[in-house]
A and B are shown apart, each in its own frame.
Chain A
Amino acid sequence: MSIAVIRFPGTNNEDDVLKALGKIPDANPYLVPSRKGLAGLKDADAVVIPGGFSYGDYLRAGAVASVEVIVEGIRDLAEDGKPVLGICNGFQILAEMGLLPGVLLPNDSSRFICKWIYLKVCETNSIFSENLENAVLRLPIAHAEGNYFCSREQLEALRDEQRIPFRYCDSHGETSTESNPNGSLENIAGVTNQRGNVLGLMPHPERASRQILGSSDGLLILENFVRAIK
């Protein structure tokens, strides 16, 4: 199970993702600097775009990275049905690429927010949320632009096609306004593509991968991602 973990200049969660995936049996994660282009993805069965500040997030989060050559390789893999996971800045890049609907606007506080949040697992037909029916997961967020927004039509499609596996909630699983950390539409924390093999997720599963860090709930999502690799 070869998993390409992409590092754009300015990506800074690549080691964390490699470390977390490395704990999962059969996962074989390896670092791919984006300058390697399409060749870097030759053997990949799946891709993770980790968080960070690709190209300094200059211009707009994810915007510069989304036009790099390697991105076309990621698009091809996604179209082949291979699992693709974008975390935080990775989600922003996937949205900029158009692989996922919607945009990540600046947080409604207009500030960077780092804190622990709860995630409600909503739909269960996604490969990423399998076996986590109605679970409440504890993960950290860390972003300045995580305020998910999309058009009414897109939102209806996301709902109808059960493509919103994760929403922000409180510790009891209630998706209230108070538990929404950044102003996201309908507390959306993650969405998938139509085919269901591409997930964009603002919270950081790799940062909740060991009990000593405060939670290992994120590992459940990463395990699902690895299990989905065929």
Chain B
Amino acid sequence: MITKEELQHASKVLGREPTNTELGMLDVLWSEHCSYKSSKRWFYLFKTTADNVALGIGEGAGLIDIGGGYYVGVAMESHNHPSQIDPYNGAATGVGGIIRDVISQGCKAVGLMNCLRFGHLDKPHNAYLIENVVRGISEYGNSVGIPVVGGEIEFDDSYDENCLVNVVCVGYVKPEKVVRSSARTPGHHLVMFGSSTGRDGIAGVSFASETFSDEEEENRGAIQIGDPLAKKVVIDTLTELIEEELLDGLQDFGGGGMTSAAGELARAGGTGVEIDLEKVPLREEMDPSEIVISESQERMLAIVAPENLDRVILLLEKNDTPHAVIGKVTDDGHYTVRYEGEVLARLPISLLVDGFPVPERVEGKIPAQTDSITWFKEPEDYCEAVLNLLRSPNICDRSWVYSQYDQHVQTNTVVDLGENAGVLEFPNGRLLAFTSDCNSFWCSLDPQTGTANSAAESLRNIVSMGARPLFIADCLNFGNPERPESYAQFVESVRGLGRFSHDFDIPIIGGNVSLYNEAVVDGQNRRINPTPQIMIAGIFNQGFTPIKRNLVTPWANIFLVGETFPDLNGSEYQRMVIGEVKGEPPKYRPNWEKRSMNVILEAHERGLIRSCNNVGRGGVAVALMKMAMKSEYGFKLNMDYIPGTVNSMAQALFSETSSRYLAEVTESNQPEFLELVEKHDTMVCELGLTTTKPVADFSRFSISMDNARKAFTEGLSRFLE
């Protein structure tokens, strides 16, 4: 809710007390969710510009030029709070909202991703949440006809009271068809269309900007309800409106409803708006003050020049799309709301949209961690240790989840889910890879390093397939910024992402911040792990076929590129052995990361690598098993020499040191590959050979591929069947 200081500030600027309607409007637009009042001050740390950035952070979607007359659009957002209360509708409308962000820029939506966090599935409530979140995403996205091309999931107790649902939508648009989110010309009409307005999602953003109390159920009315059929009709209609270039501006009704949509349009255009609420098509009786802040789904707000109005109305009628002309763009710099002639609100745009008093936030101190690994011991049974890692919900097969998502609709999907990244073909013939990553365990130990390394892991995902990084989108999920320790985690994490974006020269073109992911349970404050989700898109050279991770040739060499250190703190192995993570997580080493990236990218360009995987969670052991389990082959290792400083079998197998890749290289390509490694001043070792026998032979122990697959596939399904 709006604070006392904020109310005083508003009254001072207005020279009077705000009306009830105005209070409701200020409350939603000054919420953390809409205003970014605790977070925006740090965005200067990000690299946001580059020659190919056509539209950076600030509107519905970021746009990047991929050549050949096409821009790619991306938007990323959270829908955490609604999904915790009503997982099915919360997740579905999260997908609905992110699609609207992309299409409101004029884009055709061509791909979806989702990044999820839940508590452990042995608690029935968490199983209920994942079942319904996945069903919500699946039924909505599948119905609208947009394929899911990527995503990830992690499980930890810290998400018991706050599950996370982060969604991404990508699209494309020709530069001349881009629609901006601004109302530039006074006298133009405000046309809303898509769906009628109801009492669902009243002030959803305000509720999303507070921590949960024990009375969660009370907030059910703040959840929006999705309607994918209406969305599909909106998309079809919009395609026609954009094709004929009939729209002068466009914004979707998202968080903050009409207040936000029209307010943002006016601010961007330097104009004002006036709206007559009685013209809004309603689906139930509503108070005027509710109409301005309702977050009913599937609604769009278009700015239409008078000469185009008849044609727009005709197309809307032809498609049976609910619509109404609700007001006009003005030149008075105010947001005026009338109901049957009576003025209910008249607020300066400058006050409403970003005139809030900037709140003071205190950055606490992040506890220092030790690099000691005194807890470490070799497993008694290596075979069992590897199988347990493969079975871990944070590593295992996710097909239970993604087989519920349509991955092929629109017929652009070149690489399905279950690989390092999903790959889509764009109309200019270019292939783009999409991935997202976040290791929240690393981030909980050291938010800055953990965030930078999570981004590096995303990067390795696309590089291992042969793509060069193109852009970043992020969704930063943290606790209550009014608490110094939560705020410190957020700020440190932004520093980490900022560093990474500059180190690797990748622009950040879209994102979202979700704070207040905390809950009070029995008087105890419970906060999520810092969870900065980092999505990276990459582009392939023309004519290049993306390289997957499954082994493809017998008797080929498996190389480990990069050095390995005893980075066991924060690892999945540590969690498995002592039941928690502690200590300093793996270090972020941008220079090493770049060197191994360059080896892999150049080797791909020369066609030297048959299959490739990034070394991440679970270390070399898990990365190798993932390569073998998807193939017909096995491998035989010789681990006598591993570059770096590990001094035991388990350290070598389970360390999560960053900047490492596994590459399958045939005998004839080996000399050229090794030359490349030397050229880029990187370390490498020949870990072993691929074999025709489906056995993972680690020299000291071996695992049959059938046993490995069984462990891998039962990881999630054992809780969900």
Instruction: List 16 additional contacts besides A12-B143, A16-B409, A212-B414; criterion CB under 8 Å.
Output: A10-B143, A10-B233, A19-B411, A53-B229, A112-B142, A112-B404, A112-B406, A114-B402, A114-B406, A142-B407, A204-B408, A207-B409, A207-B411, A209-B411, A213-B411, A213-B414
Rounded to whole Å, the gap between the CB of B49 and the closest CB of chain A is: 33
Q: Is A55 at the interface (CB under 8 A from chain B)? A: yes
B371-406 interface with A by 8 A CB criterion: 402-406
When chains A and B are docked, how far (Å) is the Cα of A207 from the Cα of B405?
A: 15
Rounded to whole Å, the gap between the CB of A72 and the closest CB of chain B is: 20
Instruction: Identify the closest chain B residue to A207 (Cβ).
Output: B408
When chains A and B are docked, how far (Å) is the Cα of A12 from the Cα of B144?
A: 7
B32-83 interface with A by 8 A CB criterion: none
Interface size class of B (residues with CB under 8 A): 20 to 34
Given contacts A10-B229, A16-B411, A19-B411, A56 and B406 within 8 Å (CB-CB): no
A-B contact pairs, 17 of them (CB 8 A): A10-B228, A10-B229, A10-B232, A12-B409, A16-B411, A55-B229, A56-B227, A56-B228, A111-B135, A112-B405, A114-B406, A116-B416, A140-B408, A204-B408, A207-B409, A210-B411, A214-B416
Residues in A whose Cβ lies below 8 Å from that of B232: 9-10, 12, 52-53
When chains A and B are docked, how far (Å) is the Cα of A212 from the Cα of B431?
A: 11
Residues in A whose Cβ lies below 8 Å from that of B355: none
Are B138 and A112 closer than 8 Å at their CB atoms?
Answer: yes
Are A13 and B409 closer than 8 Å at their CB atoms?
Answer: yes
Interface residue SS majority, chain A: mixed
When chains A and B are docked, how far (Å) is the Cα of A115 from the Cα of B144?
A: 18
Interface size class of A (residues with CB under 8 A): 20 to 34
Residues in A whose Cβ lies below 8 Å from that of B145: 12-13, 52
Query: Which of B143, B405, B407, B413 is close to A56, meaning CB atoms less than 8 Å apart?
Result: B143
Q: Is A96 at the interface (CB under 8 A from chain B)? A: no
Q: Is A123 at the interface (CB under 8 A from chain B)? A: no
Residues in A whose Cβ lies below 8 Å from that of B403: 111, 113-115
Ranked 7 nearest A-B pairs via Cβ: A12-B145, A56-B229, A53-B143, A16-B411, A207-B408, A142-B406, A112-B404
Q: Is B139 at the interface (CB under 8 A from chain A)? A: yes
When chains A and B are docked, how far (Å) is the Cα of A210 from the Cα of B431?
A: 15
Q: Is B425 at the interface (CB under 8 A from chain A)? A: yes
Instruction: Identify the closest chain B residue to A7 (Cβ).
Output: B236
Residues in A whose Cβ lies below 8 Å from that of B645: none
When chains A and B are docked, how far (Å) is the Cα of A229 from the Cα of B108?
A: 33
Task: Give per-residue flags for A53-75: 1 if the beta carbon is below 8 A from chain B beta carbons, else 0.
Answer: 10111100000000000000000
Are B411 and A142 closer than 8 Å at their CB atoms?
Answer: no
A1-31 interface with B by 8 A CB criterion: 9-10, 12-13, 15-16, 19-20
Residues in B whose Cβ lies below 8 Å from that of A112: 138-139, 142, 404-406
B residues sitting closer than 8 Å to A (CB atoms) are 135, 138-139, 142-145, 227-229, 232-233, 320, 402-411, 413-414, 416, 425
A191-228 interface with B by 8 A CB criterion: 204, 206-207, 209-210, 212-214
Residues in A whose Cβ lies below 8 Å from that of B139: 112
When chains A and B are docked, how far (Å) is the Cα of A142 from the Cα of B414?
A: 16
When chains A and B are docked, how far (Å) is the Cα of A15 from the Cα of B144?
A: 13
Instruction: Identify the closest chain B residue to A16 (Cβ).
Output: B411
When chains A and B are docked, how far (Å) is the Cα of A209 from the Cα of B404?
A: 22
Given contacts A53-B229, A56-B228, A58-B229, A114 and B405 within 8 Å (CB-CB): yes
Are A142 and B233 closer than 8 Å at their CB atoms?
Answer: no
Rounded to whole Å, the gap between the CB of B663 and the closest CB of chain A is: 23
Query: Which of A16, A113, A214 is close to B410, meaning CB atoms less than 8 Å apart?
Result: A16
Residues in B whose Cβ lies below 8 Å from that of A57: 143
Instruction: Identify the closest chain B residue to A206 (Cβ).
Output: B411
Given contacts A13-B409, A53-B143, A114 and B229 within 8 Å (CB-CB): no
Residues in B whose Cβ lies below 8 Å from that of A9: 229, 232-233, 320
Instruction: Identify the closest chain A residue to B412 (Cβ).
Output: A213
When chains A and B are docked, how far (Å) is the Cα of A210 from the Cα of B412?
A: 10
Residues in B whose Cβ lies below 8 Å from that of A142: 142, 406-409
